Amino acid sequence: ETGVTQTPRHLVMGMTNKKSLKCEQHLGHNAMYWYKQSAKKPLELMFVYNFKEQTENNSVPSRFSPECPNSSHLFLHLHTLQPEDSALYLCASSPNHRGTYEQYFGPGTRLTVT
């Protein structure tokens, strides 16, 4: 596979469930990002990882827990979510988290919280 992949593409979960989103990049990049895209709202940056280290947490509630075991993989663990957390969750990567680099996005996971 090439580029940035995300699984699952669609997820429906109840408020008491625990689930995880997975992102994998095949570009040899060192920085990875989680974004949330809600209807009629701008893309919101959630977390940034560079060389497996978290460099940014954009005031995200603790019910979202990221994990970056290596530079190619990024997870977003979800627990006790709220209906307003329903959104498209996009993963992106770039060569580094500094410098002028375009970000490459995955196709996203469409999450519905019931």
Partner 1 sequence: GQNIDQPTEMTATEGAIVQINCTYQTSGFNGLFWYQQHAGEAPTFLSYNVLDGLEEKGRFSSFLSRSKGYSYLLLKELQMKDSASYLCAVREDNAGNMLTFGGGTRLMVKP
Minimum distance of partner 1 from residue 88's CB (angstroms): 9
- Residue closer to partner 1, measured from CB, 75 or 105: 105
Minimum distance of partner 1 from residue 18's CB (angstroms): 26
Footprint of partner 1 (CB under 8 A) = 4, 31, 33, 40-45, 48, 50, 55-56, 90, 94, 96-108
What is each CA distance from 24 to 29, 53, 71, 83, 84, in whole angstroms?
Answer: 11, 16, 9, 26, 26
- Residue closer to partner 1, measured from CB, 90 or 111: 90
- Residue closer to partner 1, measured from CB, 44 or 67: 44
Minimum distance of partner 1 from residue 24's CB (angstroms): 14
